[in-house]
Amino acid sequence: MSDTDPMLRIHDLNAYYGKSHVLRGVTMDVEKGGVTALLGRNGVGRSTTAKAIMGEVAPEGEVWFKEQNIAGLPSHRIARLGLGYVPEHRDIFPMMTVRENLLLGIKDVAHPGRWSIEDMLEMFPNLKSRADTAAGVLSGGEKQMLTICRTLMGDPELVIIDEPTEGLAPKIVVQIGELIAEIAKSGVSILLIEQKLSIALKIAQKIYVMGHGEIVYSGTPDEFRGRDDIRREWLEV
């Protein structure tokens, strides 16, 4: 894989729930070291795209990561290759401390990655003061930060982050956006699945819009700003 190749290349990806055809030929690229945003209304297939990439939903098509077609591999093998996943439901272990939750994210204790627990606590000051507090008492925004941090502890090269700002206060939404941008600056590629257009326009380098299980638009944030037709038809409620 050369420096100009995408980190993740998805080609003609299809997925089904029973007889329901959810993803219909999704094709998109995630470039190295930046943020790629996948936008769309609820129920159009964005989260299914993430699950199909990660092996949680059976995919049909191609998902290329590091010169390997990972479509259909078990989730744990995909994660071992360097692909991290922050699901929308913010799974944490509520009875364990913040620090203990972070420890669970380490894949190989003998060979630690680029991030240490102290790095995470410095990057996320909200968590630093609560490092030895049970994770179950954290706010929604702090739990979201913790799930992102725990994924980074596995030293991924690319992270899929699904709806990180869902249900959060506007001030926390801005903070989460800034933190995601900071992670990308460190060299980690990010596929951001999001509804809030303002966040995507601010931190993404490429935008894809999904409708009815298909990619209906792709372009840069600057290009998208002139497409009120796409915004009205596929994003506005």
Write down the pTM of the prediction.
Answer: 0.92
Strand partners, 17: 20
Over the chain, what is the mean pLDDT? 91
Give per-residue pLDDT as tens, 134-188.
999 999 888 988 999 999 998 999 999 999 988 888 888 888 898 899 899 989 9
Q: Which CATH class is domain 1-82+158-167+189-237?
A: alpha beta
- Write down the pLDDT at residue 179: 86
158 close to 7: Cβ distance less than 8 angstroms:
yes
**Percent of the chain that is helix, strand, coil (3-state, to 5):** 35, 25, 40
109 or 68, higher pLDDT:
68
Domains of the chain, by residue range, sit at: 1-82+158-167+189-237
| Number of neighbours of residue 35 by Cβ within 10 angstroms | 27
Q: Looking at residue 167, what is its pLDDT?
A: 84
What is the greatest pairwise CA distance in the chain?
53
